[in-house]
Amino acid sequence: MKTLSETQEAALTAAHSAGADMEAIRWVYSPLRICLLGAHVDHQGGDVLGTAIDRRILLAFSPSPDAQVALCSRDYEGRVCFSADAPPAELSPAWGRYAAGAAVALNRRRPLARGIQGGIAGEAPVGGLSSSAAVGVAYLLALEHANALEVTPEENIELDRIIENEYIGLKNGILDQSMILLSRKGALTAMNCRSGEYTHIPPGNDLPEFRLAVVHSGIEQALVSTGYNRRVAECQEAARLLLEASGQPPRERPVLGDVSPELFAEYGHRLPADLAKRARHFFTEQERTSEGRAAWAAGDLRRLGALIAASGESSITNYECGTPALIDLVRILNGVPGVYGARFSGAGFRGACFALAAPDAGPAIEEALQREFNPRHPELAGRWHLDLCRPDEGARVL
């Protein structure tokens, strides 16, 4: 018999505390994601390139006989209780808001008759790998299973958008849940966030083995309380000004994806300096993403890595995100032998950085961080953690 992992055990213990029927346990495996290219362009309708990884959020659950939802977590205190057919607008403990948001989103389509009793645990620390989207997707899939609902990945992308944008209030794009829901092992997923069109890109022949080396910084903070939403608003203002300068009629919610590169080249100089930088990040990141697709399809990890490193620098200098510690982390990683390229893994305001790296790059990365990072950030010296991950399948119910 296969032994359970520590995370599986923890999810089962939490499910037991929530009152789940332990004879009827089902699992949702909801992976975390890495966005190789396409940083901060999803909320502007841009192109992204990414994958799910082999680190997951695990939800052990049993369908409730009625509409009651009861949840416990390994990592957060308190028991979450609400009725799936009448989820509350506010919830305590706050970690349960992703479950309530999932019920709110699903109820808009079909009233939920059944809740779930479950326990949740993650295989990686919070921050930078979109654990919030993985959690949202996990609750959606579990509630859909309990209510025997057939929902396509595309619909679930939209349902998770409702959780994040409308229930939680983070004005993010659809990158995270799309990678979590659509990924296929071995391929990268390329998506246009305006149309929702996506393709799976197989790697070129002779692709060298690689790892997605994740460095968890030890900094945790909810994204909604960072400068994330402010940057989104700046991008929208840049789009509005560019469209206005070219004489186009006003749009209700302009995004940089509405603006052609030619239009930016012609009118970009009229933007205030900070907005011009945000737009420059968008348009150069679009070019990098398109080149990155080609590099992957050609099996050229060196080229792909160089684009990832350039994306990291543009996030720092043009998009101006990242805390001093994360900026140092990215720049140190980009100098390590065996690292093809590194950048912030998520929004850059907290959490993790990742590097596209050779499979044996781990010791050199750790050594460089001990030598260069620890003396500059002693408060994080014992807290950062390196994890060598691989691409993996998207979310599933087992």
Site string for ligand GLA, 337-376 (x = CB under 6 A): ---------xx-----------------------------
Is the Cβ of residue 35 or residue 365 nearer to ligand GLA in the bound state? 35
Smallest distance from ligand GLA to CB 368, Å: 25
Binding positions for ligand GLA, 21-50, rule CB under 6 A: 35, 39-40, 42-43
Is the Cβ of residue 20 or residue 193 nearer to ligand GLA in the bound state? 193
Query: What residues contact residue 341 under an 8 Å CB cut-off, 6+ apart?
Result: 304, 305, 306, 307, 308, 309, 310, 312, 334, 355, 356
Distance between CA atoms of 120 and 10, rounded to whole angstroms? 8
Is the Cβ of residue 222 or residue 245 nearer to ligand GLA in the bound state? 222
Distance between CA atoms of 288 and 341, rounded to whole angstroms? 13
Query: Alpha helices of the chain — where are they, by DSSP H?
Result: 6-17, 97-107, 131-146, 153-161, 175-182, 228-245, 261-267, 273-297, 301-317, 324-333, 362-368, 374-376
**Of the listed 42, 47, 160, 176, which one is catalytic?**
176
Smallest distance from ligand GLA to CB 130, Å: 5
Q: Quick one: which H or E segment has residue 52?
A: strand 47-63
Smallest distance from ligand GLA to CB 341, Å: 16
Q: Quick one: which H or E segment has residue 58?
A: strand 47-63
Count the Cβ atoms, other than its own, within 10 Å of residue 205: 7
Smallest distance from ligand GLA to CB 192, Å: 14
Distance between CA atoms of 118 and 63, rounded to whole angstroms? 9
- # residues contacting ligand GLA (CB under 6 A): 12
Distance between CA atoms of 20 and 13, rounded to whole angstroms? 10
Of 122, 55, 69, residue with least CA distance to 97: 69
Distance between CA atoms of 203 and 126, rounded to whole angstroms? 29
Is the Cβ of residue 117 or residue 130 nearer to ligand GLA in the bound state? 130
Smallest distance from ligand GLA to CB 132, Å: 7
The encoded tokens of residue 93 equal: 């403990």
Query: What residues contact residue 67 under an 8 Å CB cut-off, 6+ apart?
Result: 83, 84, 85, 86, 112, 113, 114, 115
Q: Is 192 in the site for ligand GLA (CB under 6 A)?
A: no
Smallest distance from ligand GLA to CB 68, Å: 30
Binding positions for ligand GLA, 115-154, rule CB under 6 A: 130
SS3 at position 83: strand
Is the Cβ of residue 103 or residue 191 nearer to ligand GLA in the bound state? 191
Binding positions for ligand GLA, 167-186, rule CB under 6 A: 172-173, 175-176
Of 142, 178, 165, 135, residue with least CA distance to 38: 178
Residue 247 gets the label, from left (phi > 0), alpha (psi -120 to 50) or beta, of: left
Smallest distance from ligand GLA to CB 378, Å: 28
Query: Does residue 176 carry a catalytic annotation?
Result: yes
**What are the catalytic residues?**
176
Interface with ligand GLA (CB under 6 A): 35, 39-40, 42-43, 130, 172-173, 175-176, 346-347
